[in-house]
């Protein structure tokens, strides 16, 4: 079943095709007369085409034997009968069955040559104008170009799925562009892996020290380290990493870095006693945030003359008395263009935000609420009683095919219409998102940033909230008083204890924080499964869907990979009524809880209530597999209020989410959390990981593990160093 085979035949029907990446399911009439289901990346394939496909046979659990295409060659139809069948199938835009008959009757075996080289001759046929003839020719040439490009890529062991993006950007010149400099395939617009492209380039005759190769290696290192949170890298580290990547002398790397600076592909400047190397977009984002924050802080704002009376009215309406810190925060918001509100759990941040909102209402300010993730926005909406959206939705994110990047509708040219914006969970906001947010604010808008800098920093580059607070340039109020009601919660008190480097209280049995001692994976994993499937739903009346398992690591015996397999087996076991799809290292089943693990701006969705449509599913979005359709090769996934359809080739963007890492849980809050603390990578056994995990639980936290690991995490206040220039830029504008 796994031996590579060559299959020849004619496309009988196209069952499914994704126009964005060319993934296709089709029926092929093989030369021996057998009808075969073929799957793979075959952009713009149509009924009637003859193909020579190299691939492997596989057996689908529901649909039997299929052929997975790896390399293919298209054989254009030759006889009049073949050409007529090819065009009659709607292969070329503007040609239907009747028009195909007229064209073939006139041009016979020369039909395809006419379409490619002399399409204006089609205007001799009644009903085809000269303009329409040219459009038909353009459509046909586009298809030929795409097909030739796919054949070129597959022949050189490059991903065929690059073809759609390549042809969209470069048209008929795509192959010329690859031959001129194959390393452009690694740019964000195309996204090919550096190692794969490098192997192709070296095989094609590019020398190891070729400037194109060295420059691409430098840019790869800078882009790669965005994933580690850095906005820049010191020049010596860039040079050393690139020299190791390419097995070259550092002198060649230094020369390439100088050329990249001259071309504007990299920005280098002295910073913090280093030669800081930035990608241009990161440099622009960091300096823009610096400039806009400085302008907002410097710009005076009129504080209401009757502020004391307004505060009294807010308290009276809310039926409560704010503490001194809360009053200070609300008053600061009234008198600032930009302010930061921070504090740990139980210190009244939500109450204070509601007080600010009530005050802004009395000041007749139009105020909007936002947060980085859907879950955080939903929680903000629940605590405020007002609409809240993700930052991406607020700014109206959309994918640009021209740049291959996400763009926002709202910016300086089309700012948001509001007087004040409150953004919660700001520790998750990276430098580029903060720059985009600031660009969308009208000149005199107020901005309130709410967050906890002691939690884990953003997944993306930068350390924005912490840098803003530590710079001291923006008014900041830190709430420290833990309210009496919150003091009854061991979740709250243990979170504060951990944040101060003290061991959490593990011996109490009648509160909302429980410790269950287990010292090895053989006992931890079964207990976690039992807690989620039986004990918490039965004894604590918390349904399974309200329980989230968290663990610091993806790997090891108690990482997300193993926990998800075990939890899936007990929470969503196999059933004849539930279809499944293998995703390589695990399988997906109808009813599974899943998570999107990277931003994808192309996935189409519709509102669950049918009121609208849109595009884009983002890193960290959680949903449930509603349906698996093997025939169409798609999954239907229900997110919060949206329904999205995934083609099977997008499965690498999904993971099971019964268990997730603490990093992925940032910005979310769950009714109950089962937290695994046992072993794991040393770099993940830190205080900030433990503190962030504890603060994800709203009503109940069950900590499963051993005291030694908890003690190590509590004592370890080491944070991964991030190269960020925002703090020093704010202090030295």
* Percentage of the chain lying above the pLDDT 70 cut: 96
Residue 718: count of CB within 10 angstroms of its CB = 12
Residue-wise pLDDT for 10-21, tens only, equals 888 888 776 656
**45 vs 365: CA distance, rounded Å:** 56
Structure pTM?
0.81
pLDDT of residue 189: 77
Sign of CA dihedral 459, 462, 465, 469: positive
Task: Name the E strands within 133-187.
Answer: none
| Angle, in degrees to the nearest 10, between helices 211-224 and 194-203 | 170
pLDDT of residue 404: 57
pLDDT of residue 422: 98
Question: Which of 244, 246, 223 minimizes the C-alpha distance to 233?
Answer: 223
Which letter does DSSP use for residue 481 in this model? P
Sign of CA dihedral 215, 216, 221, 227: positive
CB of 395 closer than 8 Å to CB of 412: no
Count of alpha carbons within 13 angstroms of residue 439, beta-carbon side: 21
Which pairs count as long-range contacts for 279-285, CB under 8 Å and 24+ apart, including other chains? 279/219, 279/222, 279/223, 279/226, 281/432, 282/226, 282/231, 282/232, 282/431, 282/432, 282/461, 283/232, 284/435, 285/231, 285/431, 285/432, 285/434, 285/435, 285/462
Residue 316: count of CB within 10 angstroms of its CB = 10
Confidence tier at 297 by pLDDT (50, 70, 90): very high
Q: What integer is the mean pLDDT of 269-286?
A: 95
Higher pLDDT, 264 or 189: 264
Higher pLDDT, 135 or 619: 135
Q: At residue 126, does pLDDT exceed 80?
A: yes
| Angle at alpha carbon of residue 327, lines to 322 and 330, rounded to 5° | 120
Identity of the highest mean pLDDT range in 151-165, 271-285, 481-495, 594-608: 271-285
pLDDT of residue 153: 81
Higher pLDDT, 678 or 241: 241
- 249's torsion region: left (phi>0), alpha (psi -120 to 50) or beta? beta
Residue-wise pLDDT for 666-703, tens only, equals 888 899 999 999 877 788 899 999 999 999 999 999 99
CB of 68 closer than 8 Å to CB of 2: no
Q: At residue 643, does pLDDT exceed 90?
A: yes
Identity of the highest mean pLDDT range in 171-180, 348-357, 484-493, 601-610: 348-357
CB of 478 closer than 8 Å to CB of 342: yes
Sign of CA dihedral 592, 593, 595, 601: positive
Q: What integer is the mean pLDDT of 346-358?
A: 94
**185 vs 169: CA distance, rounded Å:** 11
Q: At residue 391, does pLDDT exceed 70?
A: yes
Residue-wise pLDDT for 464-477, tens only, equals 999 999 999 999 99
Q: At residue 64, does pLDDT exceed 90?
A: no
pLDDT of residue 400: 67
Residue-wise pLDDT for 528-547, tens only, equals 999 999 999 999 999 999 99
Q: At residue 568, does pLDDT exceed 70?
A: yes
Higher pLDDT, 485 or 214: 214
Task: Please give the structure tokens belonging to residue 693.
Answer: 């995990």
pLDDT of residue 1: 44
Q: What integer is the mean pLDDT of 136-151?
A: 80
**621 vs 306: CA distance, rounded Å:** 44
| Angle at alpha carbon of residue 415, lines to 410 and 416, rounded to 5° | 90
* Percentage of the chain lying above the pLDDT 90 cut: 59
Query: What is the average pLDDT score of the chain?
Result: 89
Task: Tell how strand 405-408 and strand 233-234 pair up.
Answer: unpaired
Q: At residue 456, does pLDDT exceed 70?
A: yes
């Amino acid at each position: 079943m796994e031996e590579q085979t060559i299959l020849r035949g004619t496309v009988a029907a196209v069952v499914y095709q994704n126009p964005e990446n060319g993934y296709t399911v089709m029926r092929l009439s093989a030369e021996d007369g057998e009808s075969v289901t073929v799957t793979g990346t075959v952009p713009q394939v149509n009924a009637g085409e003859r193909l020579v496909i190299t691939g492997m046979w596989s057996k689908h659990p529901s649909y039997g034997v299929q052929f997975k295409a790896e390399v293919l060659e298209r054989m254009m139809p030759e006889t009049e009968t073949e050409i007529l069948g090819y065009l009659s199938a709607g292969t070329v835009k503007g040609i239907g069955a009747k028009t195909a008959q007229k064209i073939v009757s006139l041009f016979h075996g020369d039909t395809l040559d006419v379409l490619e080289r002399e399409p204006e001759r089609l205007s001799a046929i009644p009903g085809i104008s000269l303009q329409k003839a040219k459009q038909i020719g353009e459509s046909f040439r586009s298809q030929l170009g795409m097909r030739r490009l796919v054949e070129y890529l597959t022949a050189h062991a490059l991903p065929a799925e690059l073809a759609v993006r390549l042809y969209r950007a470069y048209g008929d010149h795509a192959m010329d562009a690859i031959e001129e400099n194959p390393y452009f395939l690694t740019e964000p617009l195309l996204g090919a892996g550096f190692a794969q492209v490098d192997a192709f380039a070296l095989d094609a005759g590019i020398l190891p020290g070729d400037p194109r190769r060295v420059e691409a290696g430098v840019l790869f290192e800078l882009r790669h380290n965005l994933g580690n949170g850095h906005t820049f890298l010191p020049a010596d580290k860039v040079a050393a990493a690139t020299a190791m990547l390419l097995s070259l002398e550092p002198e060649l790397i230094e020369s390439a870095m100088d050329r990249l600076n001259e071309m504007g592909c990299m920005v280098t400047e002295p910073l913090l006693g280093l030669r800081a190397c930035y990608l241009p977009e990161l440099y622009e984002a960091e300096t823009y945030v610096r400039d806009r924050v400085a302008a907002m802080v410097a710009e005076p704002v009129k504080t209401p003359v009757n502020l004391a009376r307004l505060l009294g009215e807010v308290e009276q309406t809310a039926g409560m008395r704010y503490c001194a810190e809360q009053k200070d925060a609300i008053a600061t918001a009234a008198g600032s263009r930009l302010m930061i509100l921070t504090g740990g759990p139980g210190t009244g941040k939500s109450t204070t935000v509601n007080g600010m909102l009530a005050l802004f209402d009395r000041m007749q300010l139009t105020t909007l609420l936002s947060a980085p993730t859907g879950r955080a926005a939903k929680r903000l909406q629940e605590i405020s009683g007002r609409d809240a959206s993700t930052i991406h939705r607020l700014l109206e994110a959309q994918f640009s095919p021209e740049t291959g990047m996400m763009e926002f509708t709202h910016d300086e040219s089309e700012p948001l219409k509001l007087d004040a914006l409150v953004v919660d969970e700001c520790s998750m906001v990276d430098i580029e998102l903060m720059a985009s947010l600031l660009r969308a604010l009208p000149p005199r808008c107020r901005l309130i940033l709410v967050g906890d800098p002691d939690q884990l920093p953003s997944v993306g580059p930068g350390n924005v909230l912490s840098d803003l607070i530590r710079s001291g340039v923006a008014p900041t109020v830190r709430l420290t008083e833990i309210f009496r009601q919150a003091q009854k919660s061991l979740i709250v008190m243990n979170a504060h204890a951990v944040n101060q480097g003290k061991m959490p209280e593990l011996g109490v049995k009648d509160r909302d924080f429980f410790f269950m001692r287990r010292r090895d994976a053989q006992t931890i994993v079964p207990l976690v499964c039992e807690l989620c499937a039986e004990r918490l739903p039965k004894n604590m009346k918390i349904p399974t869907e309200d329980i989230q398992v968290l663990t610091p690591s993806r790997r090891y015996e108690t990482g997300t990979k193993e926990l998800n397999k075990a939890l899936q087996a007990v929470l969503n076991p196999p059933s004849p009524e539930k279809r499944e799809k293998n995703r390589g290292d695990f399988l997906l089943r109808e009813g599974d809880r899943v998570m999107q693990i990277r931003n994808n701006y192309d996935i189409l969705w519709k509102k669950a209530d049918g009121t609208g449509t849109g595009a884009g599913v983002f890193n960290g979005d959680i949903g449930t597999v509603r349906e698996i359709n093997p025939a169409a090769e798609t999954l239907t996934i229900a997110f919060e209020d949206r329904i999205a359809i995934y083609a099977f080739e997008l499965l690498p963007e999904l993971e099971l989410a019964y268990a997730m890492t603490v990093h992925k849980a940032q910005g979310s809050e769950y009714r109950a959390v089962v937290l695994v603390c046992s072993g794991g990578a040393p770099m993940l056994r830190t205080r900030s990981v433990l503190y962030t995990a504890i603060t994800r639980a709203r009503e109940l936290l069950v900590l499963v593990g051993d005291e030694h690991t908890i003690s190590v995490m509590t004592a370890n206040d080491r944070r991964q160093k991030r190269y960020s220039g925002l703090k020093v830029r704010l202090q030295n504008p």
